[in-house]
Amino acid sequence: MARYQAGIRTEARIIDATRELLGENGLDGTTLKAICDRAGVRAGSFYNLFESKEDAVLQVVKDAIRAVDPHPKRDAPDSLNELVEAYISFVSGQPDVARVYLKIAISGATNGSLGGSMKRHHHRRVARFSSAIARENPELTEAESEVRAEIVLATLSGLAFMWMLEPKFDFEHRARLAVYAPLLNS
Amino acid sequence: MARYQAGIRTEARIIDATRELLGENGLDGTTLKAICDRAGVRAGSFYNLFESKEDAVLQVVKDAIRAVDPHPKRDAPDSLNELVEAYISFVSGQPDVARVYLKIAISGATNGSLGGSMKRHHHRRVARFSSAIARENPELTEAESEVRAEIVLATLSGLAFMWMLEPKFDFEHRARLAVYAPLLNS
DNA sequence: CTCAAAATAGAGTGTATACTCAAAATCTAG
DNA sequence: CTAGATTTTGAGTATACACTCTATTTTGAG
């Protein structure tokens, strides 16, 4: 009936190992052997806790997608400022998760079971940014707000990719400069 | 001594198949069997023309990287306008090549022999955009121009990713709006 | 303590992969 | 036409992969 502590800890170690490997080496670099080695576990233990490798990978990836776009804490709609700051602290505060999001979610978006889930996530994000922009810039039509939302999101993603390419890259600075300084209310 | 026409045509078919598959399915989806099936060739023929699978993949990827950042046609330095329009026509005019470039940029950028080559390419691009921006905006310091170059490139890449996610996405329109309207000379 | 349930180990399975090789087919220069 | 070189074939190899299974060990509630 009840699960044992050992199993729960092992499950967490496996999830952590999977997340790290996905961020470091991508999907094909994340083999079962690599996961088990890093988690300090044998294949049998893995399959006692997970149905398949895909099972563990999907858990990690779906968590990552959820972490980028958390539910609003307050009831009030979010401002563009809040959305951008949330993205910045996502990248800075959970770099492992962010790497998974950028590597797997985006690269795997055009194929496989992630494709659909990623497209939905993307539309949700655009809508959220778009409505914040529309609220703060009443002179824009709905279509114009949406285009601007897409551009802001594209810039944030692009900068995050650069950060992944070179960890020294000052993502925060670029992101704030790109979004606040030039684009809107100009 | 001399190569036969059949071999030259087969080589081209294999390169085309490799490029298409890399763009559609990424690196790990591009198996030898898939390449050979699409090119209408058996494994033995492939290895008569290429040293390894990696050989064919690297040819395609290096071509793609070269296509994004072609040598200037004139002696004169390029304007930001020209650089952006070149990127736009790269994406619109050679979508297969662009897809390879974008997919590999994410998945292969942090590891392997592609990592180094991708990083060098990135720095070359930033320098090129940066010097165009500096020339057209003399009030900016060198560091400021570079940051702006990174932001422009990030936005273009991010928009291109969105285009890859949804082929209907109007990349040209977004790219011109994002770069020309808001960012510089404001 | 006890003992059933849960977790683990580790050898083993089937499959897909990149790649090889010897023989047959095809090409093209002379 | 011919003969040597190139290209193609297709069965075959070794390896790495995800995954299974059974026996053993560990856990923790009663």
What is the number of structural domains in chain A? 2
Residue with tokens 């990836």: A61
The pLDDT-based confidence of A184 (bands split at 50, 70, 90) is very low
B173 CB-near residues (< 8 Å, 6+ apart): A147
| One domain for residues A42 and A69 | no
| One domain for residues A164 and A105 | yes
C-alpha–C-alpha distance, residues A17 and A5, integer Å? 18
Q: In this structure, is the dihedral angle defined by the CA atoms of residues B121, B19, B166 and A143, taken in order, positive or negative?
A: positive
Residue-level pLDDT, tens digit, chain B, 186 residues:
689 999 999 999 999 999 999 999 999 899 999 999 999 999 999 999 999 999 999 999 999 999 999 888 777 778 999 999 999 999 999 999 999 999 988 876 666 677 778 889 999 999 999 999 999 999 999 999 999 999 999 999 999 999 998 889 999 999 999 988 753 333
Write down which residues 36-65 in A have CB closer than 7 A to strand D. Answer: 43-44, 47, 52-54
Nearest to B146 by CA among A23, A3, A177: A177
| One domain for residues B120 and B159 | yes
Contact A64, A101 (CB under 8 A): yes
pLDDT at B184: 34
Residue-wise pLDDT for A78-125, tens only, equals 899 999 999 999 999 999 999 999 988 666 666 667 777 888 899 999
B31 touches chain A (CB under 8 A): no
Query: B167: domain range?
Result: 61-183
- The mean pLDDT of A123-152, rounded to a whole number, is 94
| One domain for residues A126 and A148 | yes
| One domain for residues A76 and A145 | yes
Whether the per-residue pLDDT at A183 is higher than 50: the answer is no
| One domain for residues A145 and A92 | yes
DSSP code, position B184:
S
| One domain for residues B22 and B37 | yes
Distance between alpha carbon A97 and the CA centroid of its chain, in Å? 6
Nearest to B151 by CA among A154, A92, A128: A154
| One domain for residues A33 and A67 | no
Q: Which tokens go with A166?
A: 């070179």
Contact state of B166 with A119 under an 8 Å Cβ cutoff: yes
| One domain for residues B90 and B151 | yes
CB of B181 within 7 Å of some strand C atom: no
Integer angstrom CA distances of residue A70 from A65, B30, B102: 9, 35, 27
Identify residue A106 by its one-letter amino acid code: I
B120 CB-near residues (< 8 Å, 6+ apart): none
Contact B118, B69 (CB under 8 A): no
A11 CB-near residues (< 8 Å, 6+ apart): A49, A50
DSSP code, position A113:
T
Integer angstrom CA distances of residue B17 from A104, A109, B49: 24, 21, 14
How far apart, in Å, do the first and last CA atoms of chain A sit?
A: 62
A177 CB-near residues (< 8 Å, 6+ apart): B147, B151
A87 part of a folded domain:
yes
Contact state of B178 with A151 under an 8 Å Cβ cutoff: yes
Contact state of B111 with A155 under an 8 Å Cβ cutoff: no
pLDDT at A173: 95
- Alpha helix locations (H) across chain A? 5-29, 32-39, 43-49, 53-68, 80-93, 95-100, 106-107, 114-136, 142-165, 171-178
Whether the per-residue pLDDT at A185 is higher than 60: the answer is no
CB of B31 within 7 Å of some strand D atom: no
Nearest to B70 by CA among B54, B82, B58: B82
| One domain for residues B141 and B67 | yes
C-alpha–C-alpha distance, residues A145 and A133, integer Å? 6
Out of B18, B39, B58, pick the residue that ends a domain. Answer: B58
pLDDT at A14: 98
| One domain for residues A82 and A106 | yes
